[in-house]
Amino acid sequence: MNLCGKIIFFMFISVILSCTKDKGKLMSDEDKPSNTLVCDTNTYTYNADVKAIIDTKCIGCHASTSPYGSLASYTVIKNKALVGSLLSSLKGEGYSLMPPTGKLSDCEIQGIESWITAGAPNN
Ligand code: HEC
């Protein structure tokens, strides 16, 4: 094998090695999201989860003086939770879908539902 042949041979080997290395890295990256996608709704609490979602995704249109209804305190949120309008609006069933710009994730909706089923506690 002449020099040129050897160079091509080594380039060929290093390309194969780098491909298998990349593949290994890609596969372990793909494993991670599926682990974090586990939806643990049992841990949903008002202060850590429900209020955090409402403060980021709802309060812009539902401040205390909003004509569309306030979501600015535990009391009003709890009332809407217990009469059913909170969950119905998140599912877009019987009420306009909230947020109007796009539904929350299934996990967020399930989490809020489990908090409501638990009696919408101030936990
Ligand atoms: C872009 C503005 C906007 C955002 C963001 C928004 N809403 Fe609304 N919301 C409205 C409007 C407008 C209405 C009245 C719509 C209607 O009656 O059809 C409404 C009505 C509602 C109602 C029914 C009225 C009531 O108070 O009983 C509920 C419940 C509600 N929204 C909950 C939410 C929740 C929960 C979020 C966040 C996940 C949210 N909204 C985010 C604009 C918004």
d(CA 41, CA 50): 11
Low-confidence ranges of the chain (pLDDT < 70): 1-37
Gap from CA of 118 to ligand 1 centroid (Å): 23
pLDDT of residue 24: 42
pLDDT of residue 38: 81
Cα separation values, 78 from 46, 51, 82, 87, 116, Å:
10, 11, 6, 11, 8
pLDDT of residue 41: 85
pLDDT of residue 1: 65
Gap from CA of 65 to ligand 1 centroid (Å): 13
Question: Which atom of ligand 1 is closest in space to residue 86's alpha carbon?
Answer: 29
pLDDT of residue 8: 54
